Amino acid sequence: MKIGIIGGGAAGLVASINLARKGYDVTILEANNKCGKKLAITGNGHCNYWNTDQDLNHYTSTNKEIFSKIYDLNNHKVLDFFTSVGIVPKINNGYYYPFSKDASSFVSSLIRLSLSLNVKIIYETKVEDIKKGECFLVKTNNGEYQFDKVILATGGKSYPKTGSDGSGYDLAKKLGHSIVPTYPALVQIIGQDNYYKDWAGVRSDAIVSLKNGDTVLKVDKGEVQFTDYGLSGICIFNLSSLVKDNKDLTIELNLVPWFQGNKKDLIAYLDKLQEEFPTYSIKEIMEGFLHYKLINLILKLLKIEHCALWKDVPQEKIASLLMTFPFRVKETKSFDDAQVTSGGIPLNEINPCTMESNICPGLYFAGEILDVNGDCGGYNLGFAWMSALNIEVANDKN
């Protein structure tokens, strides 16, 4: 049986190894001049490929129940697979890296094993069309290929310079599939206001809460990077897939994440500091726990003099900004800056036990092309591995 895999990225490479080990005749059609181009730059070139913390809340999908079936079937297979291919992990706070800490050697290991199993990799071959008859006829810039089964592992739209141009969605639509609207994910968020130059360059730990009105959509914490356009940093990236087209979103920033208590408790804490340091201005008191640019911005927004004492300022307003600083969301940055894609092939159009299409028999999906995206920390690669290892090809020619 001939199996064609369109896309030689993370999911495509692992799928090729998994299927070649089972004796199938596997060919990868790769548009780039090498496989794993995007994989080679993940994790700042170190390749964070898994995470010990596999809470399902780290993953987002419009069909979370179906995703959980894929997860339950395959998450336990991932580490066994990488042990079997000779990848030695280096684990740092639950984050898995290859011991080399070199993504390029990680990619080379997968390609080498794939070739050793007689997988054919045909480079610089862009798929232009697929037609389904007795078999799949795949038209490319380098001629036509026939396969009994086809796996779409083309990725999404993020980092298009690596070849992720969204073409897989068009191929899927030609074969009868719909697409959950796609958006940039794990990406910076742009705000609506004009004061961002005042905080540009600051890095500060915070608790961040994405809200639609009074409804909290997601909460994360970590180092926020304050920029001249808005916000960046891993915890901000983890909120970004939920931004989409909604224009009524805000991010509340708790700028004092170390403080355990409510606003009333914070006011009492600042009262105590003023008692201990009666000559300190409010600016001088806050310098003990907040970057001076953020202090200056808060005082500017509230029109408070730097020399004012705590007892003479609007205490409730200051406490509110310290614990729930409102950031008005405009949009995210584009797919050029995004690490992954939100949206894609809806999971209710595939068999979660085999990854086969419910619409076009013999067609399978793996990786980012599907409507699943994860937080930073190895989760998106985690799903690429899980979905690729989940592919079970029927021994017939549909």
pLDDT, mean of residues 234-241: 97
Residue 171 pLDDT > 60? yes
pTM of the model: 0.93
pLDDT at 160: 86
Residue 394 pLDDT > 80? no
Span 285-326, pLDDT tens digits: 999 999 999 999 999 999 999 999 999 999 999 999 999 999
Grade residue 162 by pLDDT with cuts at 50, 70 and 90. confident
- The Cα–Cα gap between 83 and 80 comes to 5
Grade residue 397 by pLDDT with cuts at 50, 70 and 90. very low
Please state which architecture CATH assigns to domain 2-184+339-389: 3-Layer(bba) Sandwich (3.50)
Query: Distance between the two ends of the chain, CA-based, in angstroms?
Result: 11
* Strand-pair partners of 191: 329
pLDDT at 347: 98
pLDDT, mean of residues 360-368: 97
What proportions of the chain, in percent to the nearest 5, are helix, strand and coil?
35, 25, 40
Average model confidence (pLDDT) across the chain: 95
Q: Where are the domains positioned within the chain?
A: 2-184+339-389, 188-333
* Strand-pair partners of 147: 136
